Amino acid sequence: MRKLDIYQEDSLIYSIFLEKDFSALPERLNSVSSKKKKALIVTDDQVAKLFLEDLKNTIQESFSAISVCILPAGEEYKDLEHIQKIYQAALDMELERKDMMIALGGGVVGDMTGFASASYLRGIDFIQIPTTLLAQVDSSIGGKTGVDFYHYKNLIGAFHMPKLVYSSMHCLLSLPKVQYASGMGEIIKHALIHNEKYLPYLLEHKEALQERNPEILLETIYQSNRIKKYFVEKDPYEHGDRKFLNFGHSLGHAIEKVADFSYSHGQCVAFGSLMALSLCKNIAKEDILKVQELMEDMGLETRCKALKYEDIFEALSKDKKQKNQHLQFVLLHHLCSPYIEEDISKERIEAVLKQYMRSEEV
């Protein structure tokens, strides 16, 4: 077991637990006085088949009542219409302000449950139980919640911190290769922006990560969680340094939207990270190649399918991270030294798109 505590202004906000399975969850729930509360578990129809009964059996004595809301799986259902289904399930259960929601699933479920709990009765508590590698190293930590609107990713949302994050390694063993690789895209991004020892660690242990060695995987998730903790504690509402976590996300989100979400989020972060590295003026070509090879070893693609440049720029212009009509990117002075470039020319962006995009159509 590994544990990380998240603080805000010297006050403990919540703890992150990395465990082998669900068995320690009842003990962890004691910290949120769960036996006096009702809980609504929100999950999707794919995760429910794998982990819902196990979770319910494990925590049935930990709450005064438990109910379930099962949503369809997929980014295309991350919208206000399906948030209403969570609200209705909460109303049917007569959930009160003292009660809570539990997000059991990947980033989509976590973001939606977080947003629903932030807005239901003007805010109730929620717990994150992330079941994908991507959610365990990214979306479950930091309190960003939200839904997509007209295919613009996370356009509507709120900051709402969980009361507890519980990441179980056994959930990752059955993860499809594409989803596992997606998580590795975010992990590699972390290694590029913070902790100079992390990228060498990933390179040294890439075979063990390919095999999903539990000890190496747990340590990797722990190190990524430490990086996320560093930025979240320093800047909880993304007014400053927390924006560095968006490395690779400007072009990554644009590709994700223009490709109609046919790529996973972590895969798009990988595309965006390679493009951002190539926009940096002081990153050696051999370092970029090293990162590219690591991505390929982890099952990630390094060249995206052909997309129209004008569609990419249109998506960039609608990105909520942009400022004063300028294309704003997180770049690196050198590895693990991020900064924000306020205005990148379209010519430079087109050059990296050409470099990392297959050429059937532009």
123: domain CATH number?
3.40.50.1970
A 10 A CB-CB count for 357 gives: 21
Write the CATH number for 271.
1.20.1090.10
Look at residue 278 and tell me if it is in a domain: yes
pLDDT value of position 362? 44
272 φψ region: left (φ > 0), alpha (ψ -120 to 50), beta (else): alpha
77 and 58 co-located in one domain: yes
Q: From CA 304, how far away is CA 283, in angstroms rounded?
A: 22
Check whether residue 14 and residue 163 sit in a common domain.
yes
- Close Cβ partners of 337 (under 8 Å, ≥ 6 residues apart): none
Q: Are the C-beta atoms of 145 and 114 separated by less than 8 Å? A: yes
Last residue of a domain, one of 172, 200, 216: 172
Q: Output the pLDDT for position 181.
A: 98
Together in a domain, 64 and 92: yes
Please choose, from the candidates 270, 254, 190, 200, the residue with its C-alpha nearest in 3D space to the C-alpha of residue 222.
190
- The total domain count for the chain is 2
Has residue 152 been placed in a domain? yes
Which three-class secondary structure state does DSSP give residue 222?
helix
Q: What does the pLDDT read at residue 80?
A: 97
Tell me: do 164 and 211 sit in the same domain. Answer: no
**Side chain identity at residue 127, one-letter code:** I
**Statement to judge: residues 164 and 234 lie in one domain:** no
Predicted pLDDT at 321: 61
Taking only Cα atoms into account, the Rg of the chain, rounded to an integer number of angstroms, comes to 20
Compute the residue count for the chain.
362
Q: Which residues contact 14 (CB under 8 A, 6 or more apart)?
A: 5, 6, 161, 162, 163, 164, 165
The answer to whether residue 76 is domain-embedded is: yes
Is the residue at 115 inside a domain? yes
pLDDT 10s digit of each residue in the chain, 362 long?
Answer: 999 999 998 999 999 999 999 999 999 999 898 899 999 999 999 999 999 999 999 999 999 999 999 999 998 999 999 999 999 999 999 999 999 999 999 999 999 999 999 999 999 999 999 999 999 999 999 999 999 998 788 889 999 999 999 999 999 999 999 999 999 999 999 999 999 999 999 999 999 999 999 999 999 999 999 999 999 999 999 999 999 999 999 999 999 999 998 999 999 999 999 999 999 999 999 999 999 999 999 999 999 999 999 999 999 987 766 665 667 899 999 999 999 998 888 999 999 999 999 986 54
Is 287 inside any structural domain? yes
Q: Among the three residues 172, 207, 240, which one is the final residue of a domain in this structure?
A: 172
The reply to whether 220 and 118 lie within a common domain is no
Domain assignment present for residue 362? The answer is no
Question: Does 310 share its domain with 345?
Answer: yes
Tell me whether residue 292 is in a domain.
yes
Do 213 and 160 share a structural domain? no
Judge if 209 and 318 occupy the same domain: yes
Question: What is the Cα–Cα distance from 154 to 246, expressed in whole angstroms?
Answer: 13
Query: What is the model's pLDDT at position 125?
Result: 97
pTM for the full model? 0.94
**Domain boundary, last residue among 150, 172, 194:** 172
State whether 122 and 244 are in the same domain.
no
361 found inside a domain: no
Q: Which domain holds residue 196?
A: 181-356
- How is residue 326 written in tokens? 């300028």
- Do residues 165 and 228 both lie within one domain? no
Do residue 150 and residue 204 come from a single domain? no
Cα–Cα distance for residue pair 91/120, rounded to 1 Å: 9
